[in-house]
Amino acid sequence: MVIGVHTPEFPFEHNADHVRRAIQDMRVGYPVAIDNDYAVWSAFRNYYWPSLYFADAQGHIRHHYFGEGAYQQSEMVIQHLLAEAGSADTGNELVSVDAHGVEAPADWATLESPENYTGYDRTENFASPGGALPGRPRLYTAPAELRLNHWALSGRWTIEEQATTLNAANGQIAYRFHARDLHLVMGPAAPGTSIRFRVLIDGQPPCAAHGTDADGQGNGTVAEQRLYQLIRQRGPVTDRTFEITFLDPGAQAFAFTFG
């Protein structure tokens, strides 16, 4: 039996309607429990999204894996535990997993940028001159250059505990990163609205390096709170500067992740 557990990382992930929509979009066919009080998370002493735990017929944890990927290894563990429990229909063939978009495993060989948050409670390497003004609107500017894994704001933003919210149109976030993929957890601050954005990499449209949520010219729309894949590089991975400009106010950014 497969059971999923959804433990929220960000405030909007406590909303059961958001969870139901994600389950439908990802075509998840097994039961998913909502762990809003972190009871399951704490019982497993878990620290990672996603995490896989494999239990045998007696309920003992026999294997675990953190992060996307290792799909064939996970299937072999399941086959082994089923055979051990006496199942006669296990088989040894492996299903070919077509992991694409944000579900594809990270390119660990080139990944040099860790996850980072935009809220003042957990952010690191914020480089806008004057630093962050927690909880109050402010006009921010970006430095002429960013060091690797540093980020900055331009425009009028409010940096809150868990997120950063754009107060006026044409606000920008810049990030110097080293990874194949760049994702941003974001959404409209007001439900039911949509916000246009444009992304650049090293000052140019991403073209073939665009992610699933932006086109080759870098254009896209934020219409719900979720993780957006904005960059997926097809060529050599080096230090690059990412910029996203929101053409409408009300964008809310939570965290950058890389793969």
| Residue written as token pair 């940028």 | 113
Pick the last residue of a domain from 42, 72, 103. Answer: 103
133 shares a domain with 62: no
For residues 89 and 192, membership in a common domain is answered with no
* Residue 151 and residue 35 share a domain: no
Q: Are residues 134 and 69 in the same domain?
A: no
Q: Report the CATH number that the domain containing residue 88 is assigned in CATH.
A: 3.40.30.10
| CATH code where residue 216 lies | 2.60.120.260
Pair 141, 194 in one domain = yes
Look at residues 103, 129, 149 and tell me which one is the last residue of a structural domain: 103
Q: What is the pLDDT of residues 185-206, one digit of tens each?
A: 999 999 899 999 999 999 999 9
242 occurs within a structural domain: yes
Instruction: Assess whether 67 and 91 both reside in one domain.
Output: yes
Compute φ and ψ for 24, nearest 5 degrees. -70, -45
Whether 108 maps to a domain, the answer reads: no
Give the domain-ending residue among 103, 131, 149.
Answer: 103
- pLDDT tens digit string along 161-170? 999 999 999 9
- Tokens 């970006």, located at residue: 142
Tell me, yes or no, whether 184 and 205 share the same domain.
yes
Residue 80: inside a domain, yes or no? yes
Tell me: do 201 and 244 sit in the same domain: yes
Provide the pLDDT for residue 253.
Answer: 98
> Mean pLDDT of all residues in the chain?
91
- What pLDDT band is residue 226 in, cutting at 50, 70 and 90? very high
pTM exceeding the 0.95 threshold for the entire prediction = no
- Mean pLDDT to the nearest integer, 26-30: 83
Pair 241, 218 in one domain: yes
CA distance to 72, 90, 236, per residue, from 93 (Å): 10, 9, 34
Tens-digit pLDDT profile for residues 96-125: 666 667 777 788 899 999 999 999 999 999
| 23 SS3 class | helix
- Domain identity same for 148 and 249: yes
**Which of 22 and 238 is assigned the larger pLDDT?**
238
Q: Residue 111 falls within a domain, yes or no?
A: no
Domain span at residue 164 reads 116-258
DSSP 3-state helix, strand, coil percentages of the chain (rounded to 5)? 15, 35, 50
Q: Are 121 and 147 in contact (CB under 8 A)?
A: no
- Verify that 78 and 131 share a domain, yes or no: no
Quick check: is 217 in a domain?
yes
For the chain, what is the domain count?
Answer: 2
Could you tell me if 207 and 136 lie in one domain?
Answer: yes
Any domain includes 22: yes
In a domain, 246, yes or no: yes
Confirm whether 48 is domain-assigned.
yes
Question: What's the pLDDT at 21?
Answer: 83
Q: What angle do CA 159, 157, 154 make, to 5 degrees?
A: 115
Q: If residue 33 lies in a helix (H) or strand (E), which one and from where to where?
A: strand 32-34
pLDDT at 1 over 80: no
